[in-house]
Amino acid sequence: MQSSYKFGQRLGAIAAATVMLAAFGGAEAMAASPRAAENKVVLVARQDPGTLDYVTSNLTALRLWIPANVVEPLVYFNKDGSVSPGVAESWTISDDKLVYTFVIREAKFSDGTPVTVEDVLYSLNTMKGSPVSQNSAAYAAVASMEKVDDKTVKVTLSRPSQNFWLGMGGTAGLIQPEHAAGTIATNPIGTGPYKLVKYTTNSAFEFTANDQYWGDAPSIKDVTVRVITDGSAGLNALEAGEVDSLPVITIDLWEQVTKRELDKKFTLLTYPQVGEPTYAVLNQKLDPELRKALAATLDRQSYNDAFGASWGAENTCTFALPNQPWYEPESAESCPYPYDFEGAMAKASAYASTPLEYASLSDVPDLSLPADIMVPAMQGAGFNVTRNAIDLARYSQLIFQGRPPQFDITVMSGDADPTQWNCTDPAKAGWSTYCSAEYTQALSDADAATSDEDYLAKMKLAAKILRDDAVIVPLIAKKGVGLFEQDLKGFIEPRVAVAIEFKNLSW
């Protein structure tokens, strides 16, 4: 049997960030937070998730706070490439990477009930059936999951799978008690260092230290996450000392951060995990040559400049973030359709009679701003583009849920997970699918890779296929950016998807 500590070393390459954390300290002195003496902290969320059901929702507004803090995965993948115990206290992986055996620790959920093998199997099977592709994709190669004894779970794969092992340290590996599954949308229960005390929609999450936690007690006992949808109001609250951190600052606020010198008054951190690619989506039904011509109107630097903070984003033609080893910054070699406005104009005349609807979000600043640039550029080149600006509620209904896709062009930011575009059935194509047998095969081959070198080579091939077909056209790779009160220490880069971990924070 092969220890997963050895097998997990590949994560070092994946988790190593091109952008390192800025050092704490060195800024002008600020008064300590009034919450320091009370051993409390108040953070800011920009959005309310509407549900806390992480099985059926992959909204960032949910995944920032619940995973790792309330609900834990089987294992944790650390930045240095090591793997730490989670709900599983130990594990082994067979030499052929087909059998994973997890020994479940003696622990209790926050409601006082013991963690059982049955709870673990229930959780894994629930995630296997999750409508969230990033969850269910981890189980694509699973042949069986079974109880060995009262402490042990065995998972057998039909083929080696990188996605399965990585999933056990992500949202796909989160463990919940079966008896509490009915309240997951409002009161998720887990083994994490905190428990959710109260969730008030569009107002706040209130957490307190979980006295049933199996590990060391967290330094800060009580954590409140206030929902402040107005970004400027959030920054004002930080300056006024009403809150202690905006751990995720969206790109539309970056210029304010520097103009108001908040980066000097507070600790500014940048980290890749909560970063997002911003990308154009060109409907796959469009003529491939039309898609390529439209892609040539995209001046990536203009999007970077528009946000006024190039330190927080990098131009790219690859759908990935800098901490993913197949990522490449914008270059002549990595961009099959570089910005070429004159070339796009020359091709636009052939499509003058082709009406194109551009669906844009009217109430999400970091997406409406790119649309403000993109639409005039396409129109200026001679393409017959009409903008349909709609609010998030309508956009969700028309675009996210539309089958087949109800748009020709749009712009989006989101997870850098390349598997989300995988589409094996064109009849089920939606806005977030790219139906390509070649791409599907490349991802499948990468998943089955048994060496780091083979995995990377095949992921680079998959990235090239996606890049060349001009359906998902990346513009910039945004970093995760956060501001912290200077006396608030201990932030670590997210280990479970984008989760901001409270446990290591301290005054």
Q: Tokens for 384, please give them.
A: 């017959």
Q: Give the residue from 248, 322, 202 showing the smallest Cα distance to 65.
A: 248
Flag whether pLDDT at 412 surpasses 70: yes
Superfamily of domain 194-271: Periplasmic binding protein-like II (3.40.190.10)
Looking at residue 218, its pLDDT comes to 97
Joined tokens for residue 365: 């600043």
Provide the pLDDT confidence category of residue 312 given band limits of 50, 70 and 90: confident
Confidence of residue 20 (pLDDT cuts 50, 70, 90): very low
| Separation between Cα atoms, residue 153 and residue 75, nearest integer Å | 14
* pLDDT tens, residue by residue, 114-167: 999 999 999 999 999 998 888 998 999 999 999 999 999 999 999 999 999 999
Mean pLDDT of the chain: 90
Residue 4 binned pLDDT confidence (cut-offs 50, 70, 90): very low
When computed from its CA atoms, the radius of gyration of the chain, rounded to whole angstroms, is: 23
State residue 7's pLDDT score.
37
CA distances from 204 to 46, 194, 237, 345, 438 (A): 11, 15, 15, 50, 45
pTM comes to 0.81
Residue 275 has pLDDT above 80, yes or no: yes
User: What burial class does residue 43 get, using C-beta atoms within 10 Å of its C-beta: 0-12 exposed, 13-18 middle, 19+ buried?
Assistant: buried
Domain 2-35+47-191 has CATH 3.90.76.10: yes
- DSSP calls for 102-142: EEEPS-B-TTSPBP-HHHHHHHHHHHHT-SSHHHHGGGTTE
Tokens for 234, please give them.
């959030």
pLDDT attached to residue 190:
98
pLDDT at 365: 83
Averaged pLDDT, 306-320: 89
- Decide if pLDDT at 459 tops 90: yes
Closest alpha carbon to 443 in 426, 427, 420: 420
Give CA 105 to chain center in angstroms. Answer: 28
**Regarding predicted confidence, which is higher, 246 or 7?**
246
Higher pLDDT among residues 439 and 398, named by residue: 439
User: Can you give the pLDDT at residue 496?
Assistant: 95
Question: What share of the chain in percent tops pLDDT 90?
Answer: 74
Which CATH code is given to the segment(s) 274-479? 3.10.105.10
- Residues 33-91 have pLDDT tens digits of 889 999 999 999 999 998 999 999 988 899 999 999 999 999 999 988 899 999 999 99
Query: What b/e sequence results for 261-289 when a residue is b if at least 16 CB atoms lie within 10 Å of its CB, and e otherwise?
Result: ebbebbbbbbbbbbbbbbbbbbbbebeee
Provide the pLDDT for residue 257. Answer: 93
Q: pLDDT at position 305, please?
A: 92
Q: Are the beta carbons of 433 and 423 closer than 8 angstroms?
A: yes
Confidence label for 3 from pLDDT (cuts 50, 70 and 90)? very low
pLDDT for 6 beyond 60: no
Tens digit of pLDDT for each residue in 187-216? 999 999 999 999 999 999 999 999 999 999
Q: What is the pLDDT of residue 24?
A: 42
What residue segments make up the domains of the chain, in order of their start? Answer: 2-35+47-191, 194-271, 274-479
**Tokens coding 332:** 């002549």
In the prediction, which pLDDT does 31 show? Answer: 59
Report the pLDDT averaged over residues 432-439: 86
Lowest mean pLDDT among 43-52, 245-254, 322-331, 412-421: 412-421
